Amino acid sequence: MKELQIGGLVSFTTIDYPGKLAAVLFLVGCPLKCAYCSNAHLIPVGEGEYDPEKTFEWLKSRVGKLEGVVFSGGEALMQADVTIEYMKRVKDLGFSIGLHTNGFYPDLLKKCVDIVDWIGLDFKATKQHYKDLTGIDIAYDRMIESLQYWVSTGHDLEVRTTCDPRYVSKDDLLEIAEISSKMGVKNFAVQKYNPYNECDCHQTNAEQREQFFNDDELKQKIESLFESVVWRNN
Ligand code: SF4
């Protein structure tokens, strides 16, 4: 049996799993190549930096202190059954399980439906720009399939869009929100794009990156579509 490849760990967070005190495990590997990726060091599948059994022992010591554990990445489901088996062990400790996902593996999402309590799903751009941003032409359709499926389960869900002005306009953001709302999404998050490397920095300016957060009309329209909208402008 392969070991889980863990590339990073946050021992305590109040923002990565809505309403819960949680730890985050960043798993190695991702099938996408997003232009703005800030976790590029997690993408090559190789040796993880954190021993999975030692990490599991540490999680045991957090029982009663934390409420949830979030599996993030990279793309946590890229390690497929190895991830799902580990999630199950963590759930058996009594934690709620969160998953940050790009939705590229709808079939694996179906496999872990009895284990995962909440997902934060990236809806990265409109269909027209998805390939430009992610480098993969089937990424949009896979994400939509994952979204449709998760909504149908009735499990908790947040759809989030990171507004990189190179790939998302204000009209695009509204279109993404409208599609999500029509599909039955109740919780939506708009995330600011923060350039990760110098090359990205030179392609956009602060005003372009802020434009999604200071347009009251856009805000109102988006907020009318959901039960809750989180504006992550930092
Ligand atoms: S899905 Fe996330 S980890 Fe994967 S390439 Fe895109 S930004 Fe990076």
When divided into structural domains, the chain yields a total of 1
> From atom 6 of ligand 1, which residue's Cα is the shortest distance away?
34
Ligand 1 atom nearest to 73, measured from its CA = 3
**How far does the centroid of ligand 1 lie from the alpha carbon of residue 74, in Å?**
6
**Model pLDDT, residue 47:** 66
What proportion of the chain, given as a percentage, has pLDDT over 90? Answer: 87
The pLDDT-based confidence of 39 (bands split at 50, 70, 90) is confident
Full domain range(s) for residue 139: 6-232
- The model's pLDDT over 174-231, given as tens digits with 9 standing for 90+, comes to 999 999 999 999 999 999 998 876 666 678 899 999 999 999 999 999 999 999 999 9
The pLDDT-based confidence of 6 (bands split at 50, 70, 90) is very high
> Does a structural domain hold residue 59?
yes
Reported pTM: 0.95
- The model's pLDDT over 79-133, given as tens digits with 9 standing for 90+, comes to 999 999 999 999 999 999 999 999 999 999 999 999 999 999 999 999 999 999 9
> Does a structural domain hold residue 69?
yes
**Model pLDDT, residue 129:** 97
CB of 32 within 6 A of ligand 1: the answer is yes
CB of 73 within 6 A of ligand 1: the answer is yes
Distance CA 24, CA 160 (A): 18
20: domain CATH number is: 3.20.20.70
Q: Taking a C-beta distance cutoff of 8 angstroms, is the pair 74, 28 a contact? A: yes
**Model pLDDT, residue 45:** 67
> Does a structural domain hold residue 166?
yes
CB of 30 within 6 A of ligand 1: the answer is yes
Q: Taking a C-beta distance cutoff of 8 angstroms, is the pair 97, 115 a contact? A: yes
> Does a structural domain hold residue 14?
yes
> Does a structural domain hold residue 77?
yes
CB of 29 within 6 A of ligand 1: the answer is no
> Does a structural domain hold residue 1?
no
Residue the block writes with tokens 């990726």: 37
Q: Is 29 left (phi over 0), alpha (psi -120 to 50) or beta?
A: left
The beta strand positions in the chain, using DSSP E, are 6-13, 22-27, 68-72, 96-101, 118-122, 156-163, 187-192, 228-232
Say whether pLDDT at 42 is over 80. no
